[in-house]
């Protein structure tokens, strides 16, 4: 297939009248359309206003999709313990499957082709199946919680590891490598020292398995960990082995100088979730400072109960606006940086090589975007447009691993209306069973 249009190859490179040529699951050429049409005359040609790399959601909770709008206007620990965890505890296999399918379809239909997904304690296999079925690229992990957790979610430390290991054997590398595994402790508040240290040992036993957790999102969380351990959260994670190039920490809003040095020296990846941080009033992550220190910072929508959208364009915009207002400097977090965070930095956060840019030899994860909208007219600068003007609904085409998964506003090979109907039905049931009053 030859995908023609204004090609945004990466955060610094735009090719006007360009094209991307795809063969099987790989990009084989990127350049001027006229040249490539001569070289690849037999490839089916599709034309879009903008052609861009599939975006990467560096921290998402697909299985929380049934909870969109259940807990607005609440602080993090109340939000978590009063609404989100009770919802997760009430979810059975069917509800988990419906939630994950809904989440992945929302991602694919708004330009996210890869996710780093923090699932739940129970029924994680359902989300893996949903990822295989919907065609999204993903690194997923069953959540581990062995202390300070509600009934229905807290489990014996070893039982969590045993199920994680079974999932690794079943799904790590599945669907031609499109699905991978991250060992996923919820956060230090809900995980014992034995659990956290065991996460490192488990990840090290399997080639390419990484670690994904939350860290220092909220001041109460940091205070709780300090009271438990005597040190601040990121220092604690470092002590128990949960820093390093194979570790992605969501949030890192509240870190001191020493913790930032640890993040930089260990090459730990941070995922910034600006909408979630604003909605839960968690604070402003020092993203520009992290980037200055050479720390890789990706972007994530977090979950539907704290955002309440999985639109990646919203997150690029919020990251840029929040970063510049925090610095009182409009040059501090420009559009190109936000695009890099949602593409190449996201690829590192999710632990996939050769995604996040349009380049020969890279995986064919490509999106097509329309600018045929009143609010999208005119387009002077495609990078600026992606970050400040585009919406997820402007995505009209999404290809993952060379397979078209979304085309002309329709999901390919899956009945999205049926998924929405199932999700609505399960959402009503689960919220009622959990006794949550939205
Ligand atoms: Zn999260």
Ligand 1 centroid to residue 186 C-alpha, Å: 8
Per-residue confidence (pLDDT) for residue 317, from 0 to 100 = 98
Tokens 């979730």 belong to 273
Q: Is the pLDDT of residue 227 over 80?
A: yes
Per-residue confidence (pLDDT) for residue 76, from 0 to 100 = 83
Q: What does the alpha-carbon distance between residue 296 and residue 248 come to, in Å, rounded to a whole number?
A: 10
Model confidence, pTM:
0.98
Per-residue confidence (pLDDT) for residue 389, from 0 to 100 = 97
Mean pLDDT of 335-339: 98
Please check whether residue 253 is in contact with residue 287, taking contact to mean a CB–CB distance below 8 angstroms: no
Please check whether residue 363 is in contact with residue 178, taking contact to mean a CB–CB distance below 8 angstroms: no
CA angle 35–38–44, rounded 5-degree value: 105
pLDDT band of 404, cuts 50, 70, 90: very high
Mean pLDDT of 336-363: 98
Helices 93-109 and 416-433 meet at what angle, rounded to 10? 130
Average per-residue pLDDT for the chain: 97
- The CATH topology of domain 55-350 is TIM Barrel (3.20.20)
Q: Is the pLDDT of residue 438 over 80?
A: no
Ligand 1 centroid to residue 299 C-alpha, Å: 12
Per-residue confidence (pLDDT) for residue 172, from 0 to 100 = 98
Ligand 1 centroid to residue 355 C-alpha, Å: 23
Angstrom CA distances, 310 to 217, 269, 302, 305, 406, stand at: 19, 21, 8, 10, 16
Ligand 1 centroid to residue 81 C-alpha, Å: 13
pLDDT band of 356, cuts 50, 70, 90: very high
Residues in the chain, overall count? 438
Per-residue confidence (pLDDT) for residue 75, from 0 to 100 = 83
Q: Which residues, by Cβ under 5 Å, contact ligand 1, an ion?
A: 302
Per-residue confidence (pLDDT) for residue 268, from 0 to 100 = 98
* Domains of the chain, residue spans: 2-53+362-409, 55-350
Ligand 1 centroid to residue 145 C-alpha, Å: 14
Ligand 1 centroid to residue 342 C-alpha, Å: 16
Ligand 1 centroid to residue 306 C-alpha, Å: 9
Tokens 């005359």 belong to 41
Per-residue confidence (pLDDT) for residue 381, from 0 to 100 = 97
Helices 312-327 and 335-342 meet at what angle, rounded to 10? 130
pLDDT tens digit string along 229-262? 999 999 999 999 999 999 999 999 999 999 999 9
Structure tokens at 221: 């969380």
Ligand 1 centroid to residue 20 C-alpha, Å: 34
Ligand 1 centroid to residue 32 C-alpha, Å: 41
pLDDT tens digit string along 36-56? 999 999 999 999 999 999 999
pLDDT band of 288, cuts 50, 70, 90: very high
CATH superfamily name and code, 2-53+362-409? Urease, subunit C, domain 1 (2.30.40.10)
Per-residue confidence (pLDDT) for residue 333, from 0 to 100 = 95
| Residue closest to 401 by CA, chosen among 167, 108, 117 | 108
User: Running DSSP on this structure, what letter comes out for residue 81?
Assistant: I
Ligand 1 centroid to residue 308 C-alpha, Å: 12
Per-residue confidence (pLDDT) for residue 357, from 0 to 100 = 98
Mean pLDDT of 70-91: 90
Give percent of the chain with pLDDT exceeding 90: 96
Ligand 1 centroid to residue 421 C-alpha, Å: 25
Q: What does the alpha-carbon distance between residue 210 and residue 200 come to, in Å, rounded to a whole number?
A: 9
User: Running DSSP on this structure, what letter comes out for residue 190?
Assistant: G
Ligand 1 centroid to residue 23 C-alpha, Å: 36
Mean pLDDT of 355-376: 98
């Amino acid at each position: 297939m030859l995908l023609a249009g204004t090609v945004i190859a990466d955060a610094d490179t735009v090719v006007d009248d360009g094209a991307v040529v795809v063969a099987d699951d790989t990009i084989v050429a990127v350049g001027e359309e006229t040249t490539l049409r001569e070289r690849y005359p037999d490839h089916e040609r599709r034309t879009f206003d903008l052609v861009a790399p599939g975006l990467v959601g560096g921290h998402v909770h697909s299985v929380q999709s049934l909870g969109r709008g259940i807990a607005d206007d609440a602080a993090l620990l109340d939000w978590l313990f009063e609404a989100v965890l009770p919802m997760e505890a009430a979810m059975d296999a069917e509800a988990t499957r419906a939630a994950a399918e809904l989440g992945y379809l929302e991602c694919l239909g708004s330009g996210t082709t890869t996710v780093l997904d923090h699932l739940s304690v129970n029924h994680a296999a359902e989300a893996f199946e949903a990822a295989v079925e919907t065609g999204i690229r993903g690194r997923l992990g069953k959540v581990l919680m062995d202390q300070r957790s509600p009934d229905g979610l807290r489990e014996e430390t070893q039982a969590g590891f045993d199920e994680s290991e079974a999932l690794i054997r079943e799904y790590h590398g599945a669907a031609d490598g499109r699905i991978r595994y991250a060992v996923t402790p919820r956060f230090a508040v809900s995980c014992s020292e034995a659990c956290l240290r065991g996460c490192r040992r488990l990840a090290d036993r399997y080639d390419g398995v990484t670690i994904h957790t939350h860290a220092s999102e909220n001041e109460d969380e940091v205070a709780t960990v300090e009271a438990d351990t005597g040190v601040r959260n990121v220092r604690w994670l470092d002590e128990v082995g949960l820093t390093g190039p194979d570790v992605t920490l969501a949030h890192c809003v509240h870190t001191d100088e020493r913790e930032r040095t640890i993040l930089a020296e260990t090459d730990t990846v941070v995922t910034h979730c600006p909408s979630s941080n604003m909605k839960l009033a968690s604070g402003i992550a020092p993203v520009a400072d992290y980037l200055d220190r050479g720390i890789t910072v990706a972007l994530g929508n977090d979950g539907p109960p704290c955002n309440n959208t999985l639109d990646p364009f919203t997150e690029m915009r919020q990251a840029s606006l929040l970063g510049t207002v925090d610095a009182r400097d409009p040059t501090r977090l420009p559009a190109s940086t936000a695009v890099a965070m949602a593409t190449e930095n996201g690829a590192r956060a999710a632990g996939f090589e050769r995604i996040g840019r349009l380049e020969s030899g890279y995986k064919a994860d490509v999106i097509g975007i329309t600018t045929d909208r009143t609010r999208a007219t005119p387009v002077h600068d495609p990078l600026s447009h992606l970050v400040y003007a585009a919406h997820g609904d402007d995505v009209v085409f999404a290809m993952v691993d060379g397979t078209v998964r979304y085309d002309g506003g329709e999901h390919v090979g899956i009945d999205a209306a049926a998924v929405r109907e199932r999700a609505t039905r399960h959402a009503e049931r689960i919220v009622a069973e959990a006794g949550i009053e939205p």
